[in-house]
Amino acid sequence: MDNVTATEVVAPRQAVAPRAINHVVLNVRDIEESHRFWTEMIGFKHVGTAKPRPDRPNPPNFRFYSCDHEGGRLSHHDPALVENPNLPAPPAQWNMIGMNMAINHVAILLPSREAWLRQLAFLQSKGVKFDRRVEHGMTHSLYIHDPNGYGIELLYELPRAMWEDDIDGALNYSVSLPTEGPEALADRTENLPTFGR
């Protein structure tokens, strides 16, 4: 890496387009309960914990987690959890609209349709409540919620050629599916719409 001085940086006329969302930090009431959910139910790997150091002898109860980034490679963290026992109680029911939560939901990409179907079967076998099953125009998705009430969307992406010519149309397409029983694990791949063609 080359060193760059402040006088060498020229401001562009518009904001620089980001490449990705790097990580999300969620406040949680009980770090142990949330740790179990995000590792045992969702499958994230715990990669770090905030530790005391001379300038911060009593750090917040922070834990960091990583997805599988192609073949077992880990990131420094994708989500992180920080304990805040003073959070309000989670809502009794999760809903996409009208929740009294600062974060509506966090979307998590599964590596393939087959992996997504296996994850749905795993969650159903563990008794995790399916809040919503949806065929979107660009993804097939399952919505659940964590112990703090945060919505979680588990998804796989449909082929880009199906939606890239009309992203707005794909975003506005939605077919609700059953959330219980064997029907909640069904996933069609034929006769799906293509947008913008």
pLDDT (tens digit per residue) in 28-46: 999 999 999 999 999 999 9
Q: What is the mean pLDDT of residues 69-87?
A: 91
**Model-wide pTM > 0.85:** yes
pLDDT score, position 6: 64
Instruction: Report d(CA 179, CA 174) in Å as an integer.
Output: 15
pLDDT score, position 143: 97
Q: How far from chain centre, in Å, is Cα 18? A: 18
pLDDT score, position 9: 84
pLDDT band at residue 83 using 50, 70 and 90 as cut-offs: very high
Strands (DSSP E) found in the chain: 24-28, 45-49, 62-66, 79-83, 105-109, 132-136, 139-145, 151-157, 174-177
Which percentage of the chain shows pLDDT scores above 90? 72
Q: Mind listing the domains of the chain with CATH numbers?
A: 1-86 (3.10.180.10), 105-197 (3.30.720.110)
Is 180 a residue whose pLDDT tops 70?
yes
pLDDT band at residue 3 using 50, 70 and 90 as cut-offs: confident
Is 133 a residue whose pLDDT tops 90?
yes
pLDDT score, position 16: 87
Q: What is the mean pLDDT of residues 65-71?
A: 90
- Find the helix or strand (DSSP H, E) in which 102 lies: none
Which has more confidence, 114 or 21?
A: 114
Which has more confidence, 98 or 156?
A: 156
- Find the helix or strand (DSSP H, E) in which 126 lies: none
